[in-house]
Amino acid sequence: MPAHAEPDRRLRGLVEAAHAVQPRTVALRRRLHRHPELGLQLPMTRSAVLDELAGLPLRIHPGTSCSSVVAVLDGERPGPTVLLRGDMDALPLTEDTGLPYASKIEGSMHACGHDTHTAMLASAARLLSERRELLAGRVLLMFQPGEEGDHGARQMIQEGVLDAAGPAGTPSAAYALHISSTMPSGSVQTRPGAIMAAADVLRVTVHGRGGHASAPHDALDPIPPAAAMVGALQTMITRRVSALDPAVLTIAQIRAGTTSNVIPESAYLEGTLRTLSERTRRQLHEQLRQVCQYTAATYGCTAHVEIDSGYPIVVNDPDAAARVDQLSNEVLGRGRSTPMDSPILGAEDFAYVLNRVPGALAFLGGCPPHLSPESAPPNHSNKVIFDESAMVDGVALYTAFALDALS
């Protein structure tokens, strides 16, 4: 028998099987979409996931410090462990889509598609449970809260998600899908190496001396150095960072003063730094401090600089990224996987998993058919809509990732 015949047999019919469970996938997704929850504590979301997994041959491990769910599916033969991740938390937005299943919670919305990720992973658990005889090893299903800035993956690792399958079950591969409303529905993109950026927060407080606005010479006005810092920091990025190893710095918040005739004691800046290599990230942390402190000193002021390290760089294992590309075309059809020429500067805490386990993050297109990728509201918009039919492809891919790794 040719070497490629066995993978073909195992992967055959996955799209049809995903279609068969699509009513369940949609029902779970809409249940989550109506009742989105923020952060690390998602009691309604976890309850919905546990309801959907009930009755499947899984070992369930609910989180203790957060509303995570870890489920382990043991195959019928020994072998390695593959981890599949789906994040569950929403964003602090008020939905404005007009959908019949729109969020019922003011100020909370699944605007990044995590409800689709969770629903796809739950249905993949069902398909994999029906195919246990094909699994040599085990599948570790990671339902994660707190992706939107709360380091949920790191917390789950600290709680032992990578050891949940037992002493011999440390994952040897890890995969995650992320839906995108601005990619053609059902298309797949990934790349080897860095695919998403590290995200750090810069906070600067400029300290001066307050006084009357009519006599600035008797005060140390912190506003001019704060304004000068914005330009100096942007110039630093363009002149100190290689264009071949890019970085983005955005000052997104400036606060100073309370009225028109008072020079304030201090001014405050806050922004985000995005980088694609640890070397540039470390260099910029030091250079940002220098620029802010020296600029403040030029005006006779001082600057207190804080840099909070956020999510690490998301780095795909080259072999895992190649498998995603090949499986997408094999399972979904030729041409479904298209090249991703460059990384994006958004951040994702699946980076914590990929720092420990070789694997890959891939993007799944979910642009609604009545819109074009160019005109569709993007992820994180309160008007974003995802094509639910793309979840069929996501369920099939999650299932294929596990079947391929546990042949």
Q: What is the DSSP string of 336-383?
A: -B----S-BS---TTHHHHTTS-EEEEEEE---TTS-TTTSPPTT-TT
Catalytic residue among 311, 330, 348, 352: 311
Say if residue 332 is in the same domain as residue 301: no
Q: What is the pLDDT of residue 166?
A: 87
Is 231 found in the same domain as 360? no
Retrieve residue 211's tokens.
């006084």
Query: Residue 374, class by beta-carbon neighbours within 10 Å (0-12 exposed, 13-18 middle, 19+ buried)?
Result: exposed
Q: Is 311 a catalytic residue?
A: yes
Count CA atoms closer than 13 A to 377's CA, side-chain side: 14
- Are residues 217 and 275 located together in one domain of the fold? yes
Element spanning 205, H or E = strand 198-207
How far apart are alpha carbons 286 and 296 in whole angstroms?
Answer: 16
Rounded distance between C-alpha atoms, residue 285 and residue 281, angstroms:
6
Q: 92 and 239, same structural domain?
A: no
Instruction: Provide the domain count of the chain.
Output: 2
Q: What is the CATH number of the domain that holds 248?
A: 3.30.70.360
Its domain, for residue 54, covers 5-196+313-405
Contact 368, 295 (CB under 8 A): no
Residue 41 CB coordination number (10 Å): 16
Whether 76 sits among the annotated catalytic residues: the reply is: no
Burial class (CB in 10 A: 0-12, 13-18, 19+), 402: buried
228 plus 182 within the same structural domain = no
Same domain, 302 and 330: no
Q: Do 248 and 99 share a structural domain?
A: no
* 218 lies in the same domain as 267: yes
Catalytic residue among 37, 148, 348, 388: 388
> Does residue 181 share a domain with residue 60?
yes
Q: Does residue 331 share a domain with residue 295?
A: no
The average confidence (pLDDT) of the chain is 96
Q: Which residues of the chain carry a pLDDT beneath 50?
A: 1-7
Do the Cβ atoms of 405 and 210 come closer than 8 Å? Answer: no
The residue from 281, 308, 335 where one domain ends is 308
Indicate the residue among 290, 308, 326 that finishes a domain. 308
Residues in the chain, how many? 407
Last residue of one domain, picked from the residues 276, 308, 340: 308
CATH of the domain at 392: 3.40.630.10
**Whole-structure pTM value:** 0.93
208 and 182 within one domain = no
Residue 233 and residue 375 in one domain: no
